[in-house]
Structure 1
């Protein structure tokens, strides 16, 4: 799979809530012209999907691991709203993993395949997040005005296996669903959902 360590996020089209391109890009046009692989994120009522394939997000039945051709990434985080607000992440090369909603704030926590536990610390709700265990930070997200069409940057720190990378990306989607979903929907309804500009955040 050979996933990247850095992703640039933009608001997606009317069928995708967000899109992430491997690498660092200043604008949406730069990302398109780079030829970098894109991951499309979709936030449904009870799931978050990330996929490298083009699928019909309007048809919820199509959104499941294994529903697209081989060599494409399709990971689904299905949320159980009934009690503890947990999400089961499927589509990994290993067994499914559970990501849990934290009791305080709009955030999530997870246990990596290596057994270590991490939680998203929201330093500024729409701008700066860290996935950490104390001083051990394995991912960080930075953006100035992501919900206003500027890019956001996700960095994965010293991650050596793709299942951990996919788990981090899925958990990013769950946090984003909490913090950006309404803004994303509002922008889509205004017809300005695709990010086209924005300066690179300093050392994101």
Structure 2
């Protein structure tokens, strides 16, 4: 079976597939990628950035490793174009972003990590308390709306693209985490999950491996 993976940044996202590739391969799944920012100049990419703090902000990275912020309203059409490009080549499409995109349409099964995260947490317990990691403090408003049913949650901004292990240790030092930690960005790696687990001593949900596991489950 072949799966399409769509990033809001530039493809290929080898930083993501290094973690999810083995999971997909064990299930006999091949994948192809498409990026919403593929073939764009830096000037064109910059034009897709947020214009005010009221924008729904997404964070991704370019092929050269540069972190960029995008406006959801400006990028959603390009994500849809990737879906249209891939849906005649694959059986399943996985979105490599935990942002919310209710307007996306696909003729194929479209798996969105944002929905997986909220539903898995709900399934674990309606009342479970959570600590959430996000790439940027600029995203906190949208994050709190997304998780509005979780009162008293702790929100910790720390970039998966520019932060070092030392940055994680400093940022999380002294934090008393809730019952569950959600790393709410596809950019967080398996290595980062292990580091955070070692620091906070709590169960953790990592979106990229959750996505790959669900794709494998429905594909096998």
| Same structural fold, with TM-score higher than 0.5 when normalized by the shorter chain | no
The structure with more radius of gyration: 2
TM-score scaled by length of structure 1:
0.28
- Please state which structure has a larger fraction of its residues in strand: 1
TM-score scaled by length of structure 2:
0.26
- Please state which structure has a larger fraction of its residues in helix: 2
